[in-house]
Structures are given as C-alpha cells and as structure tokens.
Amino acid sequence: MKKFLGILLIIAVVIPCCMAMFTGCNEPTDYEHTIVFYSSQGDALQQITAAAIASFEAKYPGWKVQHIQAGGYDDVRDKVISDLQAGEQPDIAYCYADHVASYLQTEKVVDLNTLITSTATVKGSDGVDYPVGYTAEEVADFIEGFYKEGFASNYGDYQTYNYTDESILTLPFVKSTELMFYNKDALDALNLQPAKTWDELWAQCDVLRTKYPTATPLGYDSEANWFITMCQQNGWGYTSASAPHYLFNNADTAAWLAELNEYYSKGYITTQETYGAYTSALFTKGVEDGGLVYCIGSSGGASHQDPGKTFKWGIAPIPGSKLEDNSINSSAISQGPSFVMLEPGFDVTNADEKKVMTFLFMKEMLDPAFQAAFASASGYNPSRKSTYEDELYIEHLEGSAITAVAAVVARSMTDRFFTSPAFEGSSVARVQVGNVLLYSLDGRKSPQKALADAVSNCGGNN
C-alpha cells in the first residue's frame, strides 16, 4: 500500500513534466508491446490506476500500458464493439456481463481459465520469476459471488462459441450495490425508522409529505435497476439466458407499475430521468429546501450523497419485498466493473505473449494492496478478501466518511447480491425496462403498452 502511495506521488510530479516535454510528438504506437486498456474512470481514479501502471511497467521493462477513458460504461461497450469490427480492439476493458454477451459472437473474448491456471513464470526487472497464474489459495481469496459472475456458464449459448463449463470470461475488479441513503434528521423528527420493506416506505410517505410538503419522499437513481430488482425480489420474471429471453411482460409487473404511477402522481417519487439528473443532487439539498428523505443510489457513488453539515444522514440496505408467506426478499443488485480480455488486435505477431503480459497487468490491478488504494478512493468494494486485512483499508472503513460507511453497509449485503442473465440482447433489455418504468411513471404509456412495446423493441414476441 505504501509502495502505491509513493508511486502516486512520483506520478503527480513526473507526468506533467513528461507531457510538457513530449507534446507534439506523434510516434506510432508499438501495439506488440503496448497493452491498451479501456475504462470509465474519472481523472482522480485514473491517477490511482497510474500507480498500478507504473508498477507494471517498472517490473516488466519494454512493456507499456495505454489507459484510455472511453466515457461511461455504455460508451466503453460501444467503443469496444466498434473497435472489434475494425480489428483494433483493446486488450483489456471494463465490462458488465451483458457487454461481454455482445462481444462473444466475435469469438475474440479470451478464456481466462487457461491463464488463471497457468504454471508459467515471467522474469521481472528485479530478477524475480513472477507466476502468470493464481494458486488455489489466491483464487479462494476472491469473494466467491463476484468471482463466479465471470463463469461462461452464466452466458446464453456459451457453448456455441467454443467455451466450456470451466471457461472464465471475466474477473471482478471492484463492485458496488444499491444503498438507501436517508435524511436521519427528517426521520427522527417524526420518530420514524428507515423503511425495511417497500410497504413500510409507502406507508411513511403521507406522513413525510405532510411534515415536509416541498420534499419528495423517494428518489431512485436508476429506473432499470429498480425494475430489475423488483422482478428479482418478487419472482416476477425479468429475463432468461435461454429462449424465450424476455419474461417481464406479465400481470405482476403491470400491476406494480400502475401502483408506482399512483405514487408518482402524489409526489412520492422522482427518478434520474424524471428529475433530469442524479437524484443525489436533490438529496443533499435537505427536506426544507425541496430535497429528498430517501435516495437510492450506487454505493460506488456515495461521495455524491454527502450533504456536508446540512443534515445528519444514514445509510441502510434498500427495502425488501414482503411475500405472501410473510417472508421478506431483500435481494440487491450487484454492479461495478469487471475485466474482460480480448484477443490482441492490430495484427500483432506476438499474440500469445501479449495475452500473458495483459493478464499480468490485470493481476497488478487485482493486487490486494492496490485494491485497498482504489476502493478507498472510489467507494467501491474490493473483490479480494485479503484487502479487508490491509491496515490502511481497515483504517478507512473505521472512519466516519460517507464512502466508508457505504462500503461497510455494502459489504454486509454480500449474501443478498444477484446478477441478471447475460445473452445477446440483455443490454437492450436493460435499457427497455428502464423506459418501461419511466413511461409508466409519467403516464406517457399505460403499463401494458409500455411492457408490450419493450418486448417488441428487444426483438421478442408478446
């Protein structure tokens, strides 16, 4: 950890000088010895990742990493798809499972299992023979649920593309889930506890609106996540890895959407699309200034929920759904970037060597010490168990910062996490169900019409 912090300091001084010296130089990229990495990292996190890049390049002289910020997650996906068509794809990229499902048909997604189990070594500049693969103990150090997300068997038609049940298509980097941030002062004034179920939350809304007439009880940052989570909690059906893929057009989802429309008309709800921005901007305003009481958003975006000294805040898991047998299903979505490796592009002649070196760079970013630095800065949760034993990360989690509290709450929810099936078209389904919720909320379409149109837009049959 201290090594990474030291490298960061060097980078902060050296990089601006180097940029000044070489501005205007247009030397062609040596793609045979340059690993191209696409991410959605902002400037601050790119500086953290620069430490891993510097460590890798120092360890393996002659190899470089070109880190490209390609936009948001969907922008990364779109650029990868475009570059695959041109044969100029990155070697490693941020991904979600449904992105990888779109890449599979190109047959250029690398099966990481062959690298994970490799017994080969590569000599570093310090004379040490660094192992390419992971030991069984190192594999067990990954949080099991995160690690299993990358199994090829989670993908529809994976055998069509010559993958097996042993194949691994992605490795987890850092993960997030959705949390419920709440205005503790507002709830305390009414002797209310944070809602544990959706029924409790809706029951509180009349009281909250009466007490805070200019406030909105609930803001939800992702329409798609809300829809998908409710399908999971209630067993309504969202998608399936095997045909028929699209299960969400049913009476249960239609009834729920009609209920949401009623709550929206009463002023109980706002979302990212209806508000026009992340609802965290409303949450931080406070209830006396037209803000929110509850805001459901990503644990990885916790820093944006910090109201400073405006009011006291708290964080809780998202509400669960009470089922007919009176049990509560509190499933919560698992998100955050994983790594996918692609066959080298640009017609390189050392493809096998480059895949090994790309995997070694991936391992640099999965090192527990680097995970601690990145997780502390970003608010995401690490994918390696041993990161939680890192002294500086322990110190971070014991702090009172909103990012630290969010990470602690998110970690407590690990057994609630779920992921959706991945198949060609699953990313389209996600966009479409987000639209279903939006159109049903604001009344542009009836729930039945919105659901039917979404299935049609996905290419399915109603």
Confidence tier at 84 by pLDDT (50, 70, 90): very high
Q: Helix H segments across 367-425?
A: 368-378, 391-397, 402-412
Rounded CA-CA distance 198/332 in Å is 13
* pLDDT at residue 24 is higher than 70: no
The domains found in the chain, sorted by start residue, are 2-21+35-168+337-379 (3.40.190.10), 176-334+417-457 (3.40.190.10)
Q: What is the pLDDT of residues 199-224, one digit of tens each?
A: 999 999 999 999 999 999 999 999 99
Q: What is the CA radius of gyration of the chain?
A: 23
Q: Is 408 helix (H, G, I), strand (E, B) or coil?
A: helix
Phi-psi label, residue 411: left if phi above 0, alpha if psi -120 to 50, beta otherwise: alpha
Listed in sequence order, the residues at least 6 apart from 426 whose beta carbon sits closer than 8 Å to its beta carbon are 97, 98, 101, 156, 239, 245, 420
User: In this structure, what DSSP letter does residue 342 have?
Assistant: B
Rounded CA-CA distance 333/229 in Å is 6
Residues 84-106 have a mean pLDDT of 95
Evaluate the omega torsion of the peptide bond into residue 217 and state whether it is cis, within 30 degrees of 0: no
* pLDDT at residue 5 is higher than 80: no
Q: What is the pLDDT of residues 38-76, one digit of tens each?
A: 999 999 999 999 999 999 999 999 999 999 999 999 899
Residues 250-273 have a mean pLDDT of 98
Percent of the chain with pLDDT over 90: 87
Give the global pTM.
0.86
Q: What is the pLDDT of residues 141-178, one digit of tens each?
A: 999 989 999 999 999 889 999 999 999 999 999 999 99
Name which of 312, 364, 345 is nearest 124 in CA terms. 364
Confidence tier at 25 by pLDDT (50, 70, 90): low
Name which of 297, 302, 293 is nearest 225 in CA terms. 297
* pLDDT at residue 13 is higher than 60: no
Helix axes 368-378, 2-22, angle to 10 degrees: 70
Q: What is the pLDDT of residues 401-441, one digit of tens each?
A: 999 999 999 999 988 999 888 998 898 999 999 999 999 99
CA 442 to chain centre: 27
- What pLDDT, on the 0 to 100 scale, is given for residue 461? 76
Please, what is the average pLDDT of the chain?
Answer: 93
- What pLDDT, on the 0 to 100 scale, is given for residue 156? 83
Residue 29: CB atoms within 10 Å: 12
- What pLDDT, on the 0 to 100 scale, is given for residue 12? 44
Rounded CA-CA distance 62/456 in Å is 51
* pLDDT at residue 18 is higher than 50: no
Rounded CA-CA distance 145/367 in Å is 18
Q: What is the pLDDT of residues 311-351, one digit of tens each?
A: 999 999 999 999 999 999 999 999 999 999 999 999 999 99
CA 58 to chain centre: 30
